Amino acid sequence: MTDLLADGGFGCSVDLELRVDTVAETETTPVEEPSVTADVPAASGFARFGLGSELLQALAAIGYEEPSPIQAAAIPELLLGRDLVGQAQTGTGKTAAFALPMLAALDREQRKPQVLVLAPTRELALQVAEAFNSYSTHLSGVRTLAIYGGADFRDQIHHLKRGVQIVVGTPGRVMDHMRQGTLDLSALRTLVLDEADEMLRMGFIDDVEWVLEQLPKQRQVVLFSATMPAEIRRISQKYLSSPAEITIRQKAADAGRIRQRFLTVNAPQKLAALERVLEAEGGEGVIIFARTKAITLTIAESLERHGHDVAVLNGDVPQAQRERTIDRLRSGQVDVLVATDVAARGLDVERIGLVVNYDVPFDSEAYVHRIGRTGRAGRSGEAILFLTPRERRFLHGLERAVGRPIEAMEVPSNATINQNRLDRLRQRLTAGLQTPATNAEERALLSEIVQRVAQEQGCSSEALALAALELSLAGRPLLLQAEETFTVPRQAPGQAERQGGARPVRGERERASRPPEGNMERFRIELGWRDRVKPGNIVGAIANETGLNGKSIGRIQIFDTHSMVDLPQGMPPEVFEGLRQLRVLNKPLQISRVQA
């Protein structure tokens, strides 16, 4: 289930208000007297906070039982009315950590805003507002409004005049309403700064301070941030009063849910490499991040020509269309979203299985938030980073940011792609047998056609099935037979190691290498860069075993999981058998001949 505790879903401001207004009146339960209905088990993990039965009902309906670490630490402090500084990554459940205590303390008779949440992006503002809406399903009279740039200003004024208790907005649009006098914060109880470090990165800190200066002196301030740079620390010290401080470290198991890999490819070959990656790695839902709006359009056009269902999300896309695009991605009408970093925050779609960083992000924080769009709600995910040879130097910094090495990979080969195509075809056939795509009447008609053609042509059912499969290809070849020419400049052995002892990068492709010289024979050994083997290790081991002079050993090519070495022709069987038993770096060489 989508992790609404962490982020929530999307909606529009009108929907948020109307959905709450249509809920039937329910009995109010005082916050001080915890009460659990028959539908909510007394042992519910959230019941121990003293939350009212209406909130517990909403949480049970969503399917949440135990609070996350940030919720367990923050909710009691916020219920006491304390200021709070929380440091936690996205996806840890911090939205519910502040939303639940805010709702529990809400005066539903008061029609002026009591809670103001500042968020850096429209997506996050909508997401947080929808989360408030989800948790307040059984709280009658609660109104939540999201206000942000790009939406109708007059419509927002209309809803503010009708009265709302919770406002979630971006700093610029909140300031506009405050200056116009359309956002009355005289009754405000709590201000929440969500993703404070991102507001700093986007240049909103001056706006945030301006808002803080206008608020009532007696108010609760809650600050959440994934990182705690000096400027954010200064804000907390200046505007928060004796805050509770909570830091939640991401568990290794949580970080490990996302498998991170990189491939090195020349810039002119990136589109072709992307198509291969989608063929081999693409699953249910994919997000491709590009640096500029123009690049998103180029990628989308290329993928559409290859038959992909693609949508684009960038700064030129109107807000209403953005929301429809996210809904289409969530529902499965679109499988590939090409986006700029405008979508890196606040985008929560559970079915995203792969994130492709087509362009290197501007900083490591952006990378962290990009890859965080997959592996949601406890699921596993994949993230692939495209690097040009000149961009390899950025890799170590990204590895430091995520606290783990990023695996090297190669552009998928024809063989890999073709095997995936065959596997998918087999899976579709199996699914079609188990779950027919047509109704009984249409299946009867199809069966009649099959029988008639079989009788007329005197052919077997197998021949008919084969003809049907060929028709399903619509003239497209089943197997990919394109040239495999993804090469990058060769590095000297001494340049292969990156600083910090991280895994070496080797971009040369086996399939694009030249054949061995006329007097040489090519062999494969099952050791590669991942085993930290170097050319000197291979030369030394083979020379010691065979008695060959090191100069007699030919070209050595080291790849991620294996290596190729050229040796003189005519190797005696006993020498070859000795090499097969050889170990390098305490691992078996497993040498074998490469067939020409």
* Separation between Cα atoms, residue 164 and residue 110, nearest integer Å: 9
Task: Please check the confidence at residue 31 and state whether its pLDDT lies above 60.
Answer: no
Contacts of 155 by beta carbon, 8 Å cutoff, 6+ apart: 13, 14
Q: Quick one: pLDDT at residue 222?
A: 97
Higher pLDDT among residues 70 and 474, named by residue? 70
Check: CB of residue 587 under 8 Å from CB of residue 531: yes
* Separation between Cα atoms, residue 312 and residue 304, nearest integer Å: 11
Q: Quick one: pLDDT at residue 220?
A: 96
Q: How confident is the model at residue 468 (pLDDT cuts 50, 70, 90)?
A: confident
**Strand blocks (E) in 463-591:** 520-525, 556-558, 563-568, 583-584, 587-588
**Residue-range domain boundaries for the chain:** 13-30+67-247, 252-415, 513-593
Q: Quick one: pLDDT at residue 363?
A: 65
Q: Quick one: pLDDT at residue 439?
A: 80
Using CB atoms within 10 Å of the CB of residue 350, give its burial: 0 to 12 exposed, 13 to 18 middle, 19+ buried: middle
Mean pLDDT in the chain? 79
pLDDT tens track for 399-408:
877 878 899 9
Using CB atoms within 10 Å of the CB of residue 487, give its burial: 0 to 12 exposed, 13 to 18 middle, 19+ buried: middle
Q: Of 216-230, 319-333, 433-447, 576-590, give the lowest mean pLDDT range.
A: 433-447
Fold of 13-30+67-247: Rossmann fold (3.40.50)
Higher pLDDT among residues 258 and 8, named by residue? 258
Task: Please check the confidence at residue 355 and state whether its pLDDT lies above 90.
Answer: yes
* Separation between Cα atoms, residue 377 and residue 4, nearest integer Å: 9
Q: How confident is the model at residue 22 (pLDDT cuts 50, 70, 90)?
A: very low
Q: What is the mean pLDDT of residues 57-84?
A: 88
Architecture of domain 513-593: 2-Layer Sandwich (3.30)
Q: How confident is the model at residue 554 (pLDDT cuts 50, 70, 90)?
A: confident
Higher pLDDT among residues 181 and 483, named by residue? 181
Higher pLDDT among residues 586 and 165, named by residue? 165
Q: What is the mean pLDDT of residues 453-457?
A: 82
pLDDT tens track for 490-511:
443 333 333 333 333 333 344 4
Say which residue the tokens 């809920």 belong to: 23
Q: How confident is the model at residue 590 (pLDDT cuts 50, 70, 90)?
A: confident
pLDDT tens track for 569-582:
888 887 888 888 88
pLDDT tens track for 186-200:
999 999 999 898 888
Task: Please check the confidence at residue 482 and state whether its pLDDT lies above 70.
Answer: no
Q: What is the mean pLDDT of residues 336-354?
A: 79
Check: CB of residue 274 under 8 Å from CB of residue 358: yes
The winner for highest mean pLDDT among 304-308, 414-418, 502-506 is: 304-308
* Separation between Cα atoms, residue 594 and residue 583, nearest integer Å: 20
Q: Of 4-8, 176-180, 389-393, 482-486, give the lowest mean pLDDT range.
A: 4-8
Task: Please check the confidence at residue 244 and state whether its pLDDT lies above 80.
Answer: yes
Task: Please check the confidence at residue 282 and state whether its pLDDT lies above 90.
Answer: no
* Separation between Cα atoms, residue 59 and residue 390, nearest integer Å: 49
Sheet holding 310-313, edge to edge: 310-313, 336-339, 285-289, 352-357, 381-387, 258-264, 407-408
Q: What is the mean pLDDT of residues 558-579?
A: 83
DSSP at 97: H
Q: What is the mean pLDDT of residues 416-437?
A: 74
Q: Quick one: pLDDT at residue 39?
A: 45
Q: What is the mean pLDDT of residues 96-102?
A: 94
Q: How confident is the model at residue 159 (pLDDT cuts 50, 70, 90)?
A: very high
Same fold for the domain at 13-30+67-247 and the one at 252-415?
yes
- In the chain, the N- to C-terminal Cα span, in Å, equals 52
What CATH number matches the domain at 252-415, 3.40.50.300, 3.40.50.720, 3.40.50.1000, 1.10.3720.10? 3.40.50.300
Q: Over the Cα atoms of the chain, what is R_g?
A: 30
Length of the chain: 596
